[in-house]
Amino acid sequence: MYQYDSYDQSMVDARVAEFRGQVERRLAGDLTEDQFKPLRLKNGLYLQLHAYMLRVAVPYGTLNSRQMRMLGDIADKYDRGYGHFTTRQNIQYNWIKLEDAPDILADLASVEMHAIQTSGNCIRNTTSDQFAGAAADELVDPRPYAELLRQWSTFHPEFDYLPRKFKIAIIGSETDRAAMKLHDIGIQLVKNDAGEIGCRFYVGGGMGRTPMIAPVIGDFVSPLQMVSYAEACLRVYNRYGRRDNKYKARIKILVHEIGADEYRRQVEEEFAHILTLGLEPPAAELERIKGFFEQPGFDANASDELDLSDPDFALWVDQNVHAHKQPGYAIVNISLKPVGGIPGDATADQIRLMADLALAHSFDELRVTHAQNIVLPHVKKADLYGLWQKLDEAGLAAANLDLIGDIIACPGLDYCALANARSIPVAQKISNRFADLGRQRELGELKLKISGCINACGHHHAGHIGILGVDRKGVENYQLLLGGCEGADTSLGTITGPGFNEDGIVDAVEKATDVYLAQRAEGERFVDTYRRIGMAPFKEAIYAKEPANG
Amino acid sequence: MKIITGSDLRTGDVIWWTGEGWSRHVNDAVEAGEHTEAIIARENAKQIVTDTQVIEATVTDDGVRPAHIKDRIRALGPTVRLDLSLKPADPAAGNWVI
């Protein structure tokens, strides 16, 4: 993992001291709320429905055990004993006191963490593949490039006041586990016929009120020019992005309005100019960063044998354990979606346990996933059974990865000031309705995603089944979407029709799964069947009138 | 009726204007009267409250009930963590929101 140098540490420490002074001035009345609000948002501190909320950045979702343990300790010391892992690989605390915020940031800084640029119209935390450096299908480890992007984008003065927030994802596998095409910039590391590595830039994707799949803007950019190309993409956006209307201010609107070809032309022009300025970090810096991401000291003699005689363990291995590139090792997915639970929530004790397990079994590494789960990336197969038993004792062994119980949900109206409807109770009801693991496995891969408002933090556009909560004359109402997907076959969901109340949406989801089970062909996922048979059969079943009694 | 709500500057707690000060309990909220802007300006200046706003509410048999669900959730706490709400001992407290 990357470790701060003195420059990184001094920047973060200076920011803590600066914010401490700002909080003191606010509490003393020397700053008004209007003056203070942009300052606290620069440090990830929101004011939500019940309290201040602090969003902590987890760079490309990567943590060591010391950092994870600190996240658990903060939950206990300053919050109410839990944290919420988000769809941007971050963690949020829901019950923060303003007067405690500087101390929390100081605690975070002590483990090389912060909350900088987790809010505001700037480049947010860069996200990545949670299996980076471990996946059997990986072409290039994206983490050094993600780290380079982190360093470039942190406190970048030119991009501190963009038309709107800006999200970057980078992956190094053919399999996209980061919803890369639904970001402002998605970078895929690819290989050409000559075996050279390049960056494929997808620009102008996003969810929110106007969901769009990013087109390819740069097909094969040298990794040694990646930062310059990103700079060019941002410069064109910064120059022409709509500042007059926040709903049209994201880069996807610019790319859509002027067209991908014209946007590309302008980026190439700017890119050529930037190359003359020598802004690109020296190759030696990328090499230095790569040094932090060396392969851990794997046991070359580790066995691939697994005793699967415990049926519950066998189910968990089948569902939650992923192939590792190193023989004898595996990638463990810890689902934060127990039956009826709150997606993404973990108690302080659970957080600390996961930290301990990472230290003991995963070369001190953890990852946060955009699906609100946790990954232990490098676990020896021989350790899996003991690890699973410890997870099971702590309520962390739900064997439902990528099944209908593995629901993504934003905090919704239970916590969020922007939300129009609650997301979590809907997730809980669906989770309970499909509690039977055998039934979930019969349905197979089925990604269900719930947002409590059009901002789409719950990624409803990309759900095989998506649910969007809306406010209909002061009453919560839920729209159903079908056919969304992230990954290589990214698609956007389509609304089925009129919305439902809280119980009605759960019934509608069940009816949709019934159609799938009745109509699926061999090997088809829910989304594959939807793509083959279209909306009509689903709509017919979902909106069928119940026969009248008698 | 119109009532005034805001957030405690230091803690972020949801608070309600009682006519004399601020309470964490919506049932203590009172009709704000005609001088809401003056009250808000005066209270904001004291550095006790932030994010103040005037909202609609009604008085019911159960007490003061904000008109909008968002404000009812603010008044109670998260419906999915009633143990953290203002009515932790009432398992049906969430029904008050809906």
Put simply, the answer to whether A33 touches B51 (Cβ < 8 Å) is yes
Which residue reads 């001190």 in tokens? Answer: A364
Put simply, the answer to whether B79 touches A97 (Cβ < 8 Å) is no
The predicted structure's pLDDT at residue B96 = 86
Residues of B in contact with A47 (CB under 8 A): 7, 12, 50-51
- Which residues of chain A have a pLDDT value below 70? 548-550
Is the pTM for the entire model greater than 0.80? yes
Nearest CA in chain B to A341: B80
Distance between CA atoms of residues B23 and B6, nearest Å: 10
Residues of A in contact with B95 (CB under 8 A): none
**A52 and chain B: CB distance < 8 Å anywhere?**
yes
Put simply, the answer to whether B44 touches A33 (Cβ < 8 Å) is yes
Put simply, the answer to whether A474 touches B68 (Cβ < 8 Å) is yes
Put simply, the answer to whether A99 touches B47 (Cβ < 8 Å) is no
What is A6-109's CATH number?
Answer: 3.90.480.20
The predicted structure's pLDDT at residue A485 = 97
Rounded to a whole number of angstroms, the distance from the CA of A264 to the nearest CA of chain B is: 43
Q: Who contacts A269 (Cβ-Cβ below 8 Å, separation ≥6)? A: none
* CB A41 within 8 Å of CB A115: no
List, as ranges, residues 98-127 from A with C-beta within 8 Å of B. Answer: 98-99
Which of A23, A35, A50 to probe the B interface (max B CBs under 10 A)? A50
Chain B interface residues (partner A, CB cutoff 8 A): 7, 9-14, 44-45, 47, 50-51, 67-70, 73-74, 77-81, 84
Distance between CA atoms of residues A514 and A488, nearest Å: 26
Tokens of B41: 């300006």
List, as ranges, residues 63-102 from A with C-beta within 8 Å of B. Answer: 80, 94-99
Tokens of A486: 């992230």
Put simply, the answer to whether B79 touches A96 (Cβ < 8 Å) is no
CATH 3.30.413.10 domain position(s) in chain A:
127-290, 408-542
CATH 3.90.480.20 domain position(s) in chain A:
6-109
Distance between CA atoms of residues A460 and A451, nearest Å: 6
Exposure class string for A82-102: b at 16+ Cβ within 10 A, else e = bbbbbbbbbbbbbbbbbebbb
Put simply, the answer to whether B10 touches A50 (Cβ < 8 Å) is no
A315-393 is a CATH 2.60.40.10 domain = no
The predicted structure's pLDDT at residue A547 = 72
Which of B70, B71, B74 to probe the A interface (max A CBs under 10 A)? B70
Rounded to a whole number of angstroms, the distance from the CA of A203 to the nearest CA of chain B is: 36
Residue in A29, A52, A419 nearest the CB of B47: A29
Say whether pLDDT at B22 is over 90: yes
Residues of B in contact with A415 (CB under 8 A): 78
Assign a CATH topology to domain A127-290.
Sulfite Reductase Hemoprotein; domain 1 (3.30.413)
* CB A395 within 8 Å of CB A317: no
Of A42, A39, A29, A18, which Cα lies nearest the Cα of B50? A29
The predicted structure's pLDDT at residue A548 = 67
Range B56-60 contact pairs with CB under 8 angstroms and sequence separation of 24 or more: B56/B1, B56/B2, B57/B1, B57/B2, B57/B3, B57/B26, B57/B29, B58/B1, B59/B1
Rounded to a whole number of angstroms, the distance from the CA of A22 to the nearest CA of chain B is: 13
pLDDT band at B92 (very low <50, low <70, confident <90, very high): confident
Residue in A51, A419, A476 nearest the CB of B11: A51
CATH class in words for A408-542 = alpha beta
The predicted structure's pLDDT at residue A65 = 98
The three-class DSSP label of residue B56 is strand
Put simply, the answer to whether B77 touches A413 (Cβ < 8 Å) is no
H helices within A259-383, ranges in order? 260-275, 283-290, 311-320, 348-361
Nearest CA in chain B to A418: B70
Put simply, the answer to whether A428 touches B80 (Cβ < 8 Å) is yes
**A424 and chain B: CB distance < 8 Å anywhere?**
yes
The three-class DSSP label of residue A328 is coil
Q: Is the dihedral of CA A210, A212, A217, A218 positive or negative?
A: positive
Give the full edge-to-edge strand order of the sheet including B63-66: B22-23, B14-17, B2-8, B49-60, B63-66
The predicted structure's pLDDT at residue A418 = 96
Distance between CA atoms of residues B86 and B83, nearest Å: 8
**A28 and chain B: CB distance < 8 Å anywhere?**
yes
Nearest CA in chain B to A24: B10
Put simply, the answer to whether B79 touches A474 (Cβ < 8 Å) is no
* CB A33 within 8 Å of CB B50: yes
